[in-house]
Structure 1
Amino acid sequence: MRHSSSRHSVALLTLCAVCALLMLASCSPRDRVKAEPLDANLNLAAAPFTQAEDNSDLIYGVVPPKSELISDETLGYLDGVLASRLAQTPSGGSYPGSEATESCALSTVPQPRGTRGRALDYWSRVGQCAGVKYLLVPVVSYWSEREGGELGSPKPASIVIDFFVVDVNEVSVIDTYRYEEQQVSLAENLLTVDKFVKRGGKFLTARQLAAEGITYSLNKLGL
Structure 2
Amino acid sequence: MKRTAVCCALALTALLVIACARPVPQASRPAGTLAVAGFSNPAFTWELLAGYLPREGVKVDPQVVDRLNETLINTLLAHGTTGYVSMGNTRQCMDVRNYENEVSSRTTALKYWLDVGRCTGADLLLVPQLLFWKERQGKEMGVESPASVMIDIYLLDIKEGRIAQRYHFEETQQDLSSNLLDAPKFFERKGKWITAGDLAGEGIDTGLRTLGL
If the TM-score is normalised by the length of the shorter chain, which range does it land in?
0.7 to 0.9
Could you state the TM-score of these two structures normalised by the residue count of structure 1?
0.77
Determine helix, strand or coil for the equivalent of 1:138: strand
Whole-angstrom CA distance in 1 between matches of 2:39 and 2:106: 21
Q: Which amino acid aligns with 1:94?
A: T
1:106 match:
95
Within a 5 Å distance, the mapping from 1:103-142 to structure 2 comes to: 103-110=92-99, 111-142=101-132
Larger radius of gyration: 1
| Pick aligned residue for 2:71 from 78, 81, 96 | 81
Determine helix, strand or coil for the equivalent of 2:104: coil
1:35 CA displacement? 6.1
**Unmatched 5+ residue regions in structure 1?**
1-13, 26-32
Is the contact between residue 43 and residue 56 of structure 2 (CA under 8 Å) also seen in structure 1? no
> Identity over the aligned pairs, expressed in percent?
34
| Pick aligned residue for 2:82 from 91, 94, 114 | 94
1:173 CA displacement? 0.6
Whole-angstrom CA distance in 2 between matches of 1:212 and 1:174: 22
Is the contact between residue 161 and residue 180 of structure 1 (CA under 8 Å) also seen in structure 2? yes
Return the structure number with greater relative CO, CA threshold 8 A, min gap 6.
2
Whole-angstrom CA distance in 2 between matches of 1:95 and 1:141: 28
1:68 CA displacement? 5.4
Comparing 126-135 and 92-101, the one that deviates more: 92-101
Whole-angstrom CA distance in 2 between matches of 1:124 and 1:53: 20
4+ long deviations beyond 6 Å: none
Whole-angstrom CA distance in 2 between matches of 1:213 and 1:67: 23
2:28 match:
37
**Unmatched 5+ residue regions in structure 2?**
1-5, 18-23
| Pick aligned residue for 2:196 from 195, 206, 209 | 206
1:148 match:
138
Whole-angstrom CA distance in 2 between matches of 1:155 and 1:184: 10
Is the contact between residue 161 and residue 179 of structure 1 (CA under 8 Å) also seen in structure 2? yes
1:169 CA displacement? 2.8
Classify 1:38/1:198 alpha carbon distance in 2 versus 1 (closer, same or farther; 3 Å): same
Q: Which amino acid aligns with 2:90?
A: T
> Over the residues paired in the alignment, what is the CA RMSD in angstroms?
2.6
Matched, 1:186 2:176: yes
1:123 CA displacement? 0.8
Whole-angstrom CA distance in 1 between matches of 2:52 and 2:147: 20
Could you state the TM-score of these two structures normalised by the residue count of structure 2?
0.80
- Aligned pair count reads 194
Determine helix, strand or coil for the equivalent of 1:51: coil
Q: Which amino acid aligns with 2:71?
A: V
Whole-angstrom CA distance in 2 between matches of 1:156 and 1:107: 40
